[in-house]
A and B are shown apart, each in its own frame.
Chain A
Amino acid sequence: MAWTPDQPMVSLKDVHKSFGELEVLKGITFDVMKGEVVCIIGPSGSGKSTLIRCINALNDIQKGSITVEGQEVNDPRLDKLELRKKVGMVFQQYNLFPHKTALENVMMAPLIVLREDQQEVEERARMLIRKVRLEGKEDSYPGELSGGQQQRVAIARSLAMNPDVMLFDEVTAALDPETVKEVLVTIRELAEEGMTCILVTHEMGFAREVANHIYFTDRGVIVEHGAPATFFDDAKDPRTREFLSQIL
C-alpha cells in the first residue's frame, strides 16, 4: 500500500526502547502529518533524544512500530539509505566534519551518497548557505565558526539531501544566548516553508510560536499533549505544570 500525503508522514505506535535493562521509551504513540511542526519537551533524561534517534534508525527499537512515509523503520530489511534520504537530522553538538569547509560539508552527502553532478551540488550548496545567512563563510572551516554558525551549516548540510522531514535534537542547547536566535530564525523559516519538523527543544517561546502540536514526555511516556495555546495555558497534569513552572 503506497503512502499518500494525507496519511501521517511519521507515525509512531507503542514504541518501546531499552538499553539493556533500562527501558527508556515505554510505549510512545504519535503521528506527524506533512507540513506539521511538532515539539517534544520534557525533563533531561526522559528519552527525547532516544525517541528522535529511533525515527531515523540511529537506535533500534524493541517493540512497536515507526513508519516514515509508510515505510517501516523497525524492520531488519530496512534500506537505511532510503530512510535517511527522507529524514534529515540536526544534532545538539552540530557534528560537522571538521576537515571540510562549510561548503564542502554541505556538498558532501549529495556528492557521495546521491552521486549528483558536482556543479549542480555546488550551486545548491551555495544557495543553502545563503539561505541560512552564512554568505561569505563558504570557505571557513567549522573550527573557525561560532556555535550558531556551525549549527546553521549543519542545518544546510541536512537540507542538501532534500529531506521530507527534519529532526532537531536540542539544536540550540549548546549555544550562547545571543546566537540561539539566529538558529531559531532559520528553523522558523523552514517551518513556514512547509517543512515537516520534529523538534526537541527547551525554547518554550519558540515552541509556542512555531509548533502545531506539543508533546510533553517524562520517563519514557507522553504525559500530556496538545496545541500550544491549550498546552501552555491550560496544562492538566501536575507533572507538566511543575515542568512548565520551572522552565518558564
Chain B
Amino acid sequence: MEAFFEWFRWLYDETGINLTFVYDAYDRERMIDGFLMTIWLSLVCLFFSVIIGIVGAWLQGSPLKWTRRLVNGYIQFFRNTPPLVQLYFFYFAVGNLLPKVATDYGGEAPLLGNFAWAVISLSFFAGAFNVEIFRAGIEAVPRSTVEAASALGLTRLQTYRHVTLPLAFRVILPALNNNLVNLVKTTTLAYAIAVPEMLYVANQIWSDNVNVPEMMIFLLFAYIALVGILVWSMNRWERSLKIPGFGTS
C-alpha cells in the first residue's frame, strides 16, 4: 500500500501531476470523508425525496380540494425556482427564524445544522419532481384494476399501497432513475452552505496545494462512478421487479 502511495509522490516529482489526496495522509483522510459525506447525503436525500414523492402523489389524489392545491403549490414552487436559492432560503432565512438551542459549553447553536438543511432543501427539491413522476405512474394504472381492489373491500390507502403503488413503480423506474441521478449531482450545491461533501473537500485541497485541474478531473470521475453505481443498482432493481407476462409484451 505504502509503495502505491509513494508512486503518486514519484508521479508528482516526475510529471507535476499532483494527486495529494493519494499520497498525503491528511488529504487522503479529508477526501475519503468528503466522499463518504457525498454518499451519505445522497442516500438520505434519495430516501426522503422518494417518500415525499409517494406521500405527495397520494395527497394529490385526495378528495379534498385544498390538500390537492397545497401539493400543487409545493410542486410549482420547487420546480420553478433555482435549487441553490432554495438552499440559501432554507439555511439563511428559515434557519434564522428557528429558535437556538443551548450548547454544553453555555453558548447557543442553531437548532438544525448545515447538513440537516441540505437534506431538507434537496429532498424537497427532488421530491417535487418525484411527486409528478409518481403521479404519472399512478395514472398509468388502469382504473378498472383499482376498482377491482375496492370491490374486494380494500380502502383507498390499502389499494394505493398494495395495488397502485407497486404497479406504478414499475412504470416510473426510468423517470425516477433520471431524477435520482440528478439529485446525486445536485448534492454538490451543499458546498454553498459548507457541508463537507466531495466538492467542498476538493476545494480545500486545491486551495492548499494549487492542483485545481487534478482535483477537478478526479471529481468528475468520482461522480461518474457514483452515478454509475446508482444506475446499475436501479437497473438491477428494475429487473428484479419484472413480472412474467406483464408490461413488456
Q: Which residues of A contact B (CB under 8 A)?
A: 56, 58, 80-81, 84-85, 87-89, 91, 93, 95-99, 108-109, 112-114, 140-145, 154, 157-158, 161
User: In whole angstroms, what is the CA distance A112 to B166 when docked?
Assistant: 15
Nearest residue (CB) in A for B142 is: A95
Could you tell me which residues of chain B, from 145 to 174, have a CB within 8 Å of some CB in chain A?
A: 145, 147-155, 158, 162-163, 166-167, 170
Contact flag A85-B153 (CB < 8 Å), given A97-B163, A99-B167, A108-B162: yes
Q: Which residues of B contact A (CB under 8 A)?
A: 142, 144-145, 147-155, 158, 162-163, 166-167, 170, 243-246, 249
| B246 pairs with A98, CB closer than 8 A | yes
Contact flag A141-B153 (CB < 8 Å), given A95-B144, A95-B147: no
User: In whole angstroms, what is the CA distance A95 to B147 when docked?
Assistant: 8
| A97 pairs with B144, CB closer than 8 A | no
| B152 pairs with A143, CB closer than 8 A | no
Q: Which residues of B contact A144 (CB under 8 A)?
A: 244-245
User: In whole angstroms, what is the CA distance A64 to B116 when docked?
Assistant: 58
Q: Which residues of A contact B163 (CB under 8 A)?
A: 97
User: In whole angstroms, what is the CA distance A145 to B99 when docked?
Assistant: 61
Which one of A84, A95, A112 lies within 8 Å of B145 (CB-CB)? Answer: A95
| B150 pairs with A58, CB closer than 8 A | yes
| B152 pairs with A109, CB closer than 8 A | yes
User: In whole angstroms, what is the CA distance A142 to B246 when docked?
Assistant: 8
B contact face: mostly helix, strand, loop, or mixed: helix
| Chain A min CB distance to B164 (Å) | 10
Which one of A93, A113, A145 lies within 8 Å of B152 (CB-CB)? Answer: A113
Could you list 13 examples of A-B contacts with CB < 8 Å? A81-B155, A87-B151, A91-B144, A98-B245, A108-B162, A109-B153, A112-B158, A113-B154, A141-B245, A143-B246, A143-B249, A144-B245, A145-B245
| Chain B min CB distance to A88 (Å) | 8
| Chain B min CB distance to A61 (Å) | 17
Which one of B142, B155, B245 lies within 8 Å of A143 (CB-CB)? Answer: B245
Nearest residue (CB) in B for A89 is: B151
| A58 pairs with B147, CB closer than 8 A | yes
Nearest residue (CB) in B for A56 is: B151
